[in-house]
Amino acid sequence: MSQCTTFFASTAKGMELILADEIRALKADNVKDALGGVYFDGDIEMALRVCLWSRLANRVLMPLANYAAQTPEQLYAGAMKVDWSQHFSVDKTFAIDASIRRSKINHSRYAEQVIKDAIVDQFKEKLDDRPDVQRDQPDIRINAYIFNDRATLSLDLSGDSLHRRHYRAESVEAPLKENLAAAILIRAGWPAIAAEGGSLYDPMCGSGTLLTEAAMIAGDIAPGLLREYYGFLAWAQFNPAIWQRLINEAQYRRDKGLEKIPVIMGSDISIKNVGITKANIKSANLAANIKAVSLPLNKVVPDEDWAPGLFVVNPPYGERLGDIKKLQPLYQEIGTILKARFDGWQATVFTGNTDLAFNVSLKSHKSYQLYNGAIACKVFNFSVQPDRHFEGEHAGQQQVIGDSMKKALLATNGEWSDGATMLANRLRKNIKKLKPWVKKNDIHCYRVYDADLPEYALAIDVYEGDKTWLHVQEYEAPKTIDEKKSIQRLRDALAVLPDVFSIPNKQLSLKIRRRQKGSTQYEKQGTEGGFHVIQEGNASFLVNFKDYLDTGLFLDHRPIRQWLGEQAKGKQFLNLFAYTGAATVHAAMGGATTSTTVDMSKTYLDWAEKNFELNSINLDKHQLVRANCMEWLDKAINEQKKYELIFIDPPTFSNSKRMDNVFDIQRDYIELINKSAQLLTKKGCIVFSTNFRKFKFDANQFPALEVKDISRQTLPKDFERNPRIHYCWNLSFKQ
C-alpha cells in the first residue's frame, strides 16, 4: 500500500497544536490539527514513522470506511462492505474500540458488538471460519468513531496507546504519562535548550518520566524503539522491510544521539522514588546518561560546571497532599531556590492549581494548558533573572491576574467592602431586569454589566453552556488612578461575582483590556485550549474564555447574526473578515445555498471550521478561504463572482504578516465597500459593521447605493447602556 492516504493521529486534549508541529517535522503532507488529534497525508511508511517517532500521539488510525449509520442495521451493513480479509486472516485475533458523539446509536459497547458481528459473519460466509475476539493486545485493533450518525471505521496501526514506551519497569502513584511529560518539555523549550548543551534538573523526579523523556528528546531517540507490540505487525498488507528500514534508521540516530545528551539529573526526597527512577532509566538503556539521587528540596543546587539550562518540576497541587495553604510553602521554596541558586536558567512548573504557581514569586512569560487525565493543568515558564523576580502581596499581580483570582478572593477574608456590596446590588438589579428578556428570547450568552458604576470599570458577560461561565474584562485604569485602589476594586469584584452568580471561581475568567496595536489584536493570549460549547438560537458555537483577547463570539452582533440567518434562505452568502465564522453558521443554518467565508487568520478559520462541524454544515457548499480580504475581492471581481448577501465586519486596524499594506478601517472602508458592491447582485444587500467608536461614514461616497443606518435596530437590549458598541449600515442598489 504505497498510495497517499489521510491518517489521523489522536492525542490528549491540549496537545493538538504541538502534535501537528511534530508531524510536520516528520515531513507529512497536509497536516491539520483538529479536536483530539491531527490529520495528515502520506503513504504507509509515513504512518509507521509517526508510530515510531511521535512523542505526543496516542494512536495512529488509518480510515477504511465512512458511511451513514443512523441505525444498527446501517452500521452492520457498512461494516460488511469492507473486505476484512484484505486486512487480517482468520487465525488472527481482533478487537473493536468504539466512541460515539451526537448520534442515534448511543451505546459504544453495543456498536462494538454490531461491528464485531459483521466482521465475523463476513469471514464465516467467505471461509466458513471466524477469527476470535481478544480485548487485550489483539493482533488487529479496529477503531469505530460515530459522529452525527456517520461511522468511520479505521485500522489502529498503533494497537496500544503510543504513550506506553515500555521502559517503565516500576511506577509511583499517579505518574505522568510519557507523552504528557514530553509535551511539558516541548512547551518548556527543552529541545532548543538541549541542542545548545543546556542542562536539565528535576528536583521532584518521582518515577523519572520527565528525566527519561528529556534524555530521549536530547538524544534523538525514537520513543517507540523499545516497543515490541504494534497494531500493524499482524496487518495483512504490512511490509516488514519498510519497518526494518525505519528501525535501522532509528537505531543509527540513537547511537549518534547518545553522544549529545547534556547533563540530566533528578532528585527526590523519597529513597523509594529514586530507586524506581533508576530502574526505569536502566530499562530505557539511559543509566549512563541520567543521574538520580535522594535529596530534600532545600539541598538542591546545580554543580558549578553545569551549563545553565532547564529546571523543571511537577510538584503536588492538592490532589494528594492536602489543601492549598499546606502547599503554598512548597511553591515558595521552589521560588526561593530558583532565585538563589539557578540564576540564568529557564524554569518550568507544571501544576493543576494555577494559584499555587503564584507563590513561586517569578513573573511567568508564557503558560500553556495541558491535561493530566481529567485534571486541567498549566505549564508555567519562567526566566530566572533578577528583573523577573517579584515580592510582596501585589507585586506581579497584573502579570498573572487571571491565574490569581482565588488569591485575590482569599485576601478579602470573606468580608465585603461598601463598594463590593454596592457592586453586588447593581449586579442583582441588572440580572433581575434582564431575566424576563433572556428567558423570552432563549438567550444563553449576554452582557450583564458594562462599567455601570464608574468605580468598577468592568464588562461582565454571562455564557450559559455546560455550566455558567463569567467572562470579565477590566478596562485598563488611567494612570491617574492609584494602583492600590485599582487592585482593591478588582478584589471587590472578584469577591462578589461567584456569590452573586452562584458559581465556583474557576468558572470565572478575567482579562485586562488594553488598546491593541498592530497585529496584537489577533495574537493568542495564552494556550490553554479551554473551549466550551454554547447555544445561540438554533446554532452551536465554540467559545474560549482564556486563550484569546475575545471569546470567539461578539455578543453585541447577536441581532445582526440572527437577521442574516433570517435573510439567507436560498441565497449565496459572503462573509468578509469572518473571525470564527459565526455569521456564516447562522446564514447556513438559515438556508443559504452556498457561502464563502474569508479571513486572513489560520487560527480563526480553523475555529470557524470547527463551528461548521459542530453544526453539521457541509463544507462542500460552504467554503473557507484564508486570504487578505482586499486581495481576495480583486480576484473575485475578475472571476465575476456574485453574492446576494454580504456581511463585512472588519477590524479597526490590521498589519498582519500576511499583508503587504496596513489596513485602516477609516481610510479603507470606501474601497472595501465599493469592491464588495461589484460582487453584489442587483437585488442583494451588504451589511457593513464596525466597532470603531470614532468612525465617520460618508454615504455620499456610494452614489449607486441606498444606505440605511441600522445601528439602533442591531443594538441588543443587554448593550443598550453602551449604544456606541458598534455602528451598522445596510447597503443595496437603488432601484
Least confident among 241-250, 467-476, 667-676: 467-476
CA–centroid distance for 702 within its chain:
42
Confidence of residue 416 (pLDDT cuts 50, 70, 90): confident
467 vs 237: which has the higher pLDDT:
237
CATH topology of domain 531-733: Rossmann fold (3.40.50)
Confidence of residue 419 (pLDDT cuts 50, 70, 90): confident
Q: How would you write 308-322 as a 3-class SS string? A: CCEEEECCCCCCCCC
pLDDT digits (tens, 9 = 90+) for 8-21: 999 998 999 999 99
What Å distances lie between residue 139 and 94, 134, 238, CA to CA?
6, 8, 12
DSSP 86: G
Confidence of residue 395 (pLDDT cuts 50, 70, 90): very low
Q: What is the mean pLDDT of residues 721-735?
A: 92
d(CA 543, CA 488): 29
d(CA 143, CA 410): 48
pLDDT at 115 > cutoff 60? yes
Tally of CB atoms within 10 A around 660: 8
Q: What is the mean pLDDT of residues 191-202?
A: 97
Cβ distance 463 to 551 under 8 Å? Answer: yes
d(CA 243, CA 727): 61
Q: What is the mean pLDDT of residues 643-669?
A: 79
Q: Which CATH number describes the domain made up of 5-156?
A: 3.30.2130.30
323 vs 569: which has the higher pLDDT:
569
- Mean pLDDT, the chain, rounded, equals 89
Q: Which pLDDT value is given to residue 18?
A: 96
CA–centroid distance for 559 within its chain:
28
Q: What is the mean pLDDT of residues 101-127?
A: 95
Q: Which pLDDT value is given to residue 357?
A: 85
Pairing assessment for the beta strands 531-536 and 680-690 based on DSSP bridges: unpaired
Angle subtended at Cα 252 by Cα 251 and Cα 255, rounded to the nearest 5 degrees:
85
pLDDT at 429 > cutoff 50? yes
Select from 250, 186, 242 the least CA-distant residue to 22: 186
Q: What is the mean pLDDT of residues 480-497?
A: 76
Q: How would you write 475-501 as a 3-class SS string? A: ECCCCCCCHHHHHHHHHHHHHHHHHHH
pLDDT at 513 > cutoff 90? no
Does CATH number 3.30.750.80 belong to domain 418-514? yes
Confidence of residue 587 (pLDDT cuts 50, 70, 90): very high
Q: Which pLDDT value is given to residue 523?
A: 39
pLDDT at 264 > cutoff 60? yes
Q: Which pLDDT value is given to residue 394?
A: 29
d(CA 385, CA 344): 6
Choices 3.40.50.970, 3.10.450.350, 3.30.413.10, 3.40.50.150: CATH for 178-228+259-391: 3.40.50.150
For the chain, the helix, strand and coil percentages under 3-state DSSP, each to the nearest 5: 35, 25, 40
What Å distances lie between residue 276 and 81, 223, 292, CA to CA?
50, 20, 10
pLDDT digits (tens, 9 = 90+) for 296-314: 999 999 998 999 999 999 9
DSSP string, 318-379: SSSS--HHHHHHHHHHHHHHHHHH-TT-EEEEEES-HHHHGGG-B-EEEEEEEEETTEEEEE
- Sequence ranges of the chain with CATH classification 3.30.2130.30: 5-156
- Sequence ranges of the chain with CATH classification 3.40.50.150: 178-228+259-391, 531-733
Confidence of residue 663 (pLDDT cuts 50, 70, 90): confident
pLDDT at 407 > cutoff 50? no
DSSP 176: P
Cβ distance 402 to 510 under 8 Å? Answer: yes
Q: Which pLDDT value is given to residue 522?
A: 38
